[in-house]
Amino acid sequence: MGKRCALEGVKIADFSWLATGPLATKFAANLGAEVIHIESNTRPDILRFAPPAKDGELGMNRSAMFAYHNDSKYSITLNMKMPQAQEVGRRIVHNWANVVFDSQVPGVMERWGLDYQTLRKERPDLIHIACTSQGQTGPYCKHPGHGAVGTQLAGFSEVTGWPDREPSIPSLAYVDYVSFACVATVLIAAVIHRDKTGRGQYIDVSQLECNVQFLAPSIMDYIINGRIMMRMGNRSTHAAPHAVYRCLGEDRWCAIAVSTDEEWRNFCNVIGNPGWTKEPRFATLRGRKENEDELNALVEEWTMGYYPEEAMKRMQAAGVAAGVAARGQDLVADPQLNHRGTHVILEHPEIGPHIYQPPPYRLSKTPHELTMPAACIGQHNEYVLREVLGMSDEEVADLVISGALQ
Amino acid sequence: MAEQEDSLLGGYRVLDLADEKGLLCGKFLGDLGADVIKIEPPGGDLARNIGPFYKDIPDREKSLYWWAYNTSKRGITLNIGTADGQEIFKRLVKTADVVIESFLPGYMDSLGLGYTALSEMNPGIIMTSITPFGQTGPYRDYKAPDIVGCCLGGLAYIAGDTDRPPCRVSFPQAYLLAGNHAAGGTLAALRYRELSGEGQYVDVSMQEAVVWTLMGVIQHWDLLKYNMVRAGVWRTFFIGPRYPTRVMRFCYPCKDGYVGFLIAGGLLAAISMPAMVEWLAGEGMLGAFEPMKDWGYDEWLVRDVISMSREEVDAEEDTLIRFFATKTRAELYEQVLKRRIILYPVSTTKDVAENIQLKEREFWVEVEHPELDETMTYVGAPCKMTETPWRISRCAPLIGEHNQEIYEGELGISKEEVRLLKEARVI
């Protein structure tokens, strides 16, 4: 018996795809759960064909996008349209798993003979998490979606960007990255509860409902005060300067945020107390807010003389909040992220060595483990069928011939 | 459905010292049934000053930000900077399971309340620290309000318009992301405690939490030495050096706002586009989609989007812009639900509050505010559970609301002593 881990004994049959489900189960795997990811060559995960791919050539096992959402899992391919494949799926759930995770359109798991109501009769300890755009019930529950439009539906786009321009989007599928952490939390809570009571349960996750948490005060502001929130660029109601300023270099930027009088004095010292900083109209936060456009232009006169890293260091050394607007390359080189071991290199059989990421917390006694790179599709068919399910050579051969393992 | 009697985390006690950097973590644990005690400095936490406010009355008891992220918590005031306060805190730790804090790295240690000290008193204790960059490393003492977190976490660089600076979400996200993950990390530690009897230390980094939203930014640089960039309503796809960079709209103006839609190719197009083209044809607005009017699922599935010219993409997008301009968000949404097209309104906060799906799922919950003699509509649970509800058990505590209940009732401190502690500004 090796060293113990937080999610020891948790076995997840993972019928999910895209970002939310796979990331929740990846985190569970990094915490010690075993995960069998059920995929199909007939309907591969869209992320398997999402850039970036090895050498810029898309292919089933070449996408780093898919890979970093799916390390530390076993992959088996099952064409769930076929009864033989459904039977294998049921055996994985029945004989091996204690958590079922799906992100299928409501009704699909039932069609595959994997509905919770039937399964729980024999396996009352089973936890089934169904995670979809809008949940399992309600008039729109079966409407297909994905993270990009979900981000727009949940209200993030409308409040991202500039008031005089069209709405923007924080990251392409922002909602997926909010919801997966909620789902991971609920999954572990349900495991703790089951350990105590022996009872599993069905958990119906609506990504929309996860995401509304992240705008809650502004939605209450509408409900209570009738105010509709508008995007406001980088402005803050209670700080100025508060923006992202152009620096030396091509498309290089640094955020600076000044909230208190003390920070304002420190900020002025860093930029060498030019004459304009002594003007009365900039002396108070109110004055700076009233003259914010002009203020920002003046601040930028200073920042444009420095690379963003230098601007950040000078400001932070004086106790003023500042940060580089990091690009991909800056994140890869970022000293803090590297200090924490945020970038974990694993050697993928087709992609080669490339960057994966652990959960954003460090557990002192049960550190995360990224046990293996993302699986090539169906890489563990043999392992799952023989070792996990104990099938004979004959049974496996029959499955291969039938096409159920596609 | 089973009777929802017990709660998921019933019986666990959480001491929540966090300010706005970690409020969400304690809220989630509280909504899941833990007994969360919010510990504020005398006079109340500074997060109470964050607007908006109930009826726009700027009052420390009326912050909607405070309300939203402190549900299901009781509240006491305690100055842990004083020796008396530290003694009381240690007594609380003896019967607690989790401590959440978000002070500067090293502060709890300097008070003699770091993880090592607390675990000597209670080996099962779990301590979760939520800070901008984690407990160690070159940035550990950096100041990082939301905008700095969004920048150093890479999210700002890919948000906003190409010709303007990197941009954050106007409603602060960085610390909500950190608190969200902190809840998961805390529960992982709690599961291990149940297995082993041992507590542990959980070190959460807001910067890393933001990095987890980037969808491939790091991987694009890692594999292709390409920096993903912000592009407003468009999305830039860089496949590789042999292919032209694709720029595609994912947001279209319509009659009364915006809707989200992607033409794309592959599975997403296969689901949506046959019905979209049929709809365009029905309204006599086929435009650039004329050649595809008889395409079905299979044709769209294998469509080679990568080889399309800029002019072809523009022509298709223009066709849709003309079409969407004739319809409102509500009209479009009603139709796409029937026609099974992946299109969604770009919701305002009003739209979210009035969303029919959320209403039908009884998402919103009414929470009593006894101090105002009113019930208020709150954002409900992110999921529905058959056995143990995710439930707001009470509204956020008033400043020191449960001082008497906890100090006198639970710790058995006498009324007289409590009075003295109050005078000494300990509670």
pLDDT tens digit sequence for A123-146: 999 999 999 999 999 999 999 888
Q: Which two tokens stand for residue A219?
A: 């939605």
* Secondary structure class of A175 (helix, strand, coil): helix
**Tell me, what CATH number does B80's domain have?**
3.40.50.10540
Arithmetic mean of pLDDT over chain B: 95
Rounded to a whole number of angstroms, the distance from the CA of B212 to the nearest CA of chain A is 7
Nearest C-alpha in B relative to A9:
B195
Q: Domain A11-214+341-402: give its CATH code.
A: 3.40.50.10540
A87-91 LR contacts (CB < 8 Å, sep 24+): A88/A385, A88/A389, A88/A399, A88/A404, A89/A13, A89/A15, A89/A38, A89/A113, A89/A114, A90/A114, A91/A389
Do residue A189 and residue B268 have CB atoms under 8 angstroms apart? no
Hey, CA dihedral for B351, B354, B358, B360, is it positive or negative?
negative
B169 lies in some domain: yes
In terms of domains, do B52 and B99 share one?
yes
pLDDT at B315: 95
B135 lies in some domain: yes
Size of interface A-B (CB pairs under 8 A): 549
Rounded to a whole number of angstroms, the distance from the CA of B364 to the nearest CA of chain A is 10
For residue B381, pLDDT over 70 is answered with yes
Superfamily per CATH, domain A242-333: formyl-coa transferase, domain 3 (3.30.1540.10)
Q: Which of B133, B151, B345 sits opposite A153 (nearest CB)?
A: B345
- Residue labelled with tokens 């789902």: A183
Rounded to a whole number of angstroms, the distance from the CA of B361 to the nearest CA of chain A is 6
Q: Identify the band that residue B354 occupies on the pLDDT scale cut at 50, 70 and 90.
A: very high
The residue from B328, B350, B372 where one domain ends is B350
Do residue A325 and residue B151 have CB atoms under 8 angstroms apart? yes
Interface with chain A: mutation pick from B67, B168, B227, B339, highest number of A CBs within 10 Å: B168
In terms of domains, do B138 and B51 share one?
yes
Over range A382-392, report the average pLDDT.
Answer: 97
Residue ranges per structural domain of chain A: 11-214+341-402, 242-333
The residue from B323, B350, B377 where one domain ends is B350
* Interatomic CA distance for residues A59 and A49, integer angstroms: 6
For residue A40, pLDDT over 70 is answered with yes
pLDDT at A232: 96
Do residue B352 and residue A215 have CB atoms under 8 angstroms apart? yes
Nearest C-alpha in A relative to B378:
A220
Tell me the residue type at B177: L
pLDDT tens digit sequence for A171-188: 989 999 999 999 999 999
Do residue B188 and residue A140 have CB atoms under 8 angstroms apart? no
In terms of domains, do B125 and B208 share one?
yes
The number of helix segments (H) and strand segments (E) in chain B equals 17, 14
The residue from B327, B350, B373 where one domain ends is B350
Interface with chain B: mutation pick from A296, A336, A348, highest number of B CBs within 10 Å: A336
User: Structure pTM?
Assistant: 0.97
Do residue B55 and residue A225 have CB atoms under 8 angstroms apart? yes
Which residues sit opposite A346 in a β-bridge?
A354
In terms of domains, do B50 and B191 share one?
yes
pLDDT at B268: 86
Enumerate the residues of chain A whose CB falls inside 8 A of the CB of residue B200: 363-366
C-alpha B181: how far from chain center: 9
Give the DSSP H or E segment for B16.
strand B13-16
Enumerate the residues of chain A whose CB falls inside 8 A of the CB of residue B50: 217
* Interatomic CA distance for residues A259 and A278, integer angstroms: 18
Enumerate the residues of chain A whose CB falls inside 8 A of the CB of residue B381: 209
Do residue A213 and residue B379 have CB atoms under 8 angstroms apart? yes
Minimal CA–CA distance to B305: which of B274, B265, B270? B265
**Tell me, what CATH number does B273's domain have?**
3.30.1540
Do residue A186 and residue B382 have CB atoms under 8 angstroms apart? yes
ipTM over 0.90: yes
Domain limits for position B326: 230-350
Count of the separate structural domains present in chain B:
2
pLDDT at B236: 85
Rounded to a whole number of angstroms, the distance from the CA of A282 to the nearest CA of chain B is 21
For residue B238, pLDDT over 50 is answered with yes
In terms of domains, do B78 and B185 share one?
yes
In terms of domains, do B291 and B385 share one?
no
* Secondary structure class of B384 (helix, strand, coil): strand
Rounded to a whole number of angstroms, the distance from the CA of A135 to the nearest CA of chain B is 8
pLDDT tens digit sequence for A58-107: 999 999 999 999 999 999 999 999 999 999 999 999 999 999 999 998 99
In terms of domains, do B321 and B207 share one?
no
Q: Which of B158, B228, B251 sits opposite A167 (nearest CB)?
A: B251
Enumerate the residues of chain A whose CB falls inside 8 A of the CB of residue B177: 177-178, 181
Do residue A64 and residue B216 have CB atoms under 8 angstroms apart? yes
Q: Which of B223, B353, B385 sits opposite A201 (nearest CB)?
A: B385
pLDDT at B4: 43
Q: Identify the band that residue B5 occupies on the pLDDT scale cut at 50, 70 and 90.
A: low
In terms of domains, do B182 and B327 share one?
no
Q: Which of B164, B185, B250 sits opposite A162 (nearest CB)?
A: B164
pLDDT tens digit sequence for B138-157: 999 999 999 999 999 999 99
First-to-last C-alpha distance (Å) of chain A: 35
Do residue B379 and residue A54 have CB atoms under 8 angstroms apart? no
Q: Which of A171, A225, A321 sits opposite B155 (nearest CB)?
A: A171
Nearest C-alpha in B relative to A46:
B267
For chain A, what percent of residues have pLDDT higher than 70? 99
DSSP A313-342: HHHHHTT-EEEE---HHHHHH-HHHHHHT-
First-to-last C-alpha distance (Å) of chain B: 45
pLDDT tens digit sequence for A301-332: 999 999 999 999 999 999 999 999 999 999 99
In terms of domains, do B336 and B283 share one?
yes
In terms of domains, do B112 and B181 share one?
yes
Interface with chain B: mutation pick from A57, A169, A199, A262, highest number of B CBs within 10 Å: A169
Tell me the residue type at A205: V
Active site residues of A: 176
Q: Identify the band that residue A1 occupies on the pLDDT scale cut at 50, 70 and 90.
A: very low
The answer to which of A192-201, A237-246, B9-18, B300-309 has the lowest mean pLDDT is B300-309
pLDDT at B235: 85
pLDDT tens digit sequence for A244-272: 999 999 999 999 999 999 999 999 999 99
For residue B265, pLDDT over 80 is answered with no
pLDDT at A77: 98
Measured CA distances, A316 to A256, A266, A288 (Å): 10, 10, 21
Do residue A257 and residue B173 have CB atoms under 8 angstroms apart? no
Nearest C-alpha in B relative to A222:
B350
In terms of domains, do B369 and B344 share one?
no
Rounded to a whole number of angstroms, the distance from the CA of B329 to the nearest CA of chain A is 11
In terms of domains, do B277 and B207 share one?
no
B122 lies in some domain: yes
